[in-house]
Structure 1
Amino acid sequence: MTDDTRIPRPALLLGLAGLIPFLWSAATHLSPALSGMAGQWLSPMFLGAYVGLSYGTVILAFMSGVLWGFATRAEGREATLAYTLSVIPALWAFFMVTDASDTSAIFLAAGFVGLLLLDATFQAWGLAPRWWLRLRVMLTVVVLACLAIPLQA
């Protein structure tokens, strides 16, 4: 693997650390005992599906900012399109994730799938680093799995 396709260690470690709230969401949903124990110290917003929905909404907005940063590398019409596309994940989360329902969870998961398509687009345009899509696919698979767990009723 060439040096420009290798995921930089800080990006990998921070990306993996960013999965912790999603994994915590899944764990506290799957384990009533863990949720009950943690619930003695944590607000309900930090347990079960709710934490995955709220954190996922924050992450979609964050990723809009990342894409905006990539858009700064474009020029002309491509820049206009890149800036426009970069705001879609944040707007999607704002308008589509409105409560703690299964519908919002499905819309949030769809937002992450759409984000991955945008990541691929920005990489294809040469705006994202060559390693970007490898990192984003890995992280997105885990996020989608965690968001799906509460839907398995």
Structure 2
Amino acid sequence: MKNSIPITPLLLSLAGLLPFVWGMLTRVSSPLMMWSELWLGNGLTGTNVQLTYGTVIMCFMSGVLWGFATKTKQTQAIICYSLSILPALGVFFLVSSNTENKLTFLMLGFFVLFFIDFLFSKLGLTPSWWLRLRGGLTALVLFCLAAPHITF
């Protein structure tokens, strides 16, 4: 099928969710959090691993968007290159700040990133399967970041 997500990007993207899932699990389970802090350290536990890895992913995605922007010319190029650096700059300024709302800002960043993905897709800069992959990944990342605050 023309729009099916190739297996390699799909599997690598799913593997890329592991730090978000691990962060969520250690945020909702006190015993798991204690084990993780003891054996892996505070940096690979809970909010810390989600913020650190989320920052890495936002910067990585800025590079991906920059690559898509290379397909543009003139005014469209100025706009697309400018949009491509927003995730990296945003995560640097918002997540690196002293605010207590870092996870909220990171979630906002992933919403903005998906909007840029959507725009680049509509401009024909991405593979035909891109939005399907990015939509699912974004939803799962947002769930992992928000899950500890959701009551069932």
Q: TM-score, normalised by structure 1?
A: 0.93
Runs of 4+ in 1 over 2 A off after TM superposition: 98-102, 149-153
Q: Secondary structure of 1:60's match?
A: helix
After TM superposition, the structure 1 stretch with the greater mean CA deviation from structure 2, 48-57 or 36-45, is 36-45
In 2, Cα distance between equivalents of 1:139 and 1:35: 24
Q: What are structure 2's unaligned runs of at least 5 residues?
A: none
1:143 shift after superposition: 0.4
1:114 Cα deviation (Å)?
Answer: 0.3
User: Contact 1:102–1:151 (CA<8 Å) still a contact in 2?
Assistant: no
Structure 2 length normalisation: TM-score? Answer: 0.93
Tell whether 2:122 aligns with 1:124.
yes
Is residue 49–residue 150 contact of structure 1 (8 Å, CA) maintained in 2?
no
1:94 corresponds to = 92
How many equivalent pairs are there?
151
Residue 72 of structure 2 corresponds to residue 74 of structure 1: yes
Identity of aligned residues (%): 46
1:143 to 128, 141, 144: 141
8 Å contact kept, 2:23–2:47: yes
Cα offset for 1:121?
Answer: 0.3
Distance 1:31 1:99 in 2: 27
One-letter amino acid of the counterpart of residue 147, structure 1: L
Alignment-derived partner of residue 103 in structure 1? 101
What is the CA–CA distance in structure 2 between the aligned matches of 1:111 and 1:49, rounded to whole Å? 16
Cα deviation digits, residues 91-133 of structure 1 (max 9, x gap): 0000011258641110110000000000000000000111000
Residue identity in the other structure for 1:82: C
Q: 2:46 matched to which residue of 1?
A: 48
Find the aligned partners of 1:102 and 1:112 in 2 and give their Cα distance.
18
Q: C-alpha distance in 1, partners of 2:45/2:98?
A: 12
What amino acid sits opposite 1:107 in the alignment? Answer: F
Structure 1, 107-116 or 92-101: larger mean CA deviation: 92-101
Residue 112 of structure 2: aligned partner: 114
Asked if the contact 2:62/2:84 (under 8 Å) is kept, the reply is yes
The runs of 5 or more residues in structure 1 that have no matched partner are none
Amino acid at match of 1:142: L
CA contact (8 A) 2:69 2:84 kept: yes
RMSD over equivalenced CA pairs, Å: 1.6
Task: From the superposition, tell whether residues 99 and 22 of structure 1 become closer, same or farther in structure 2 (CA, over 3 Å).
Answer: farther
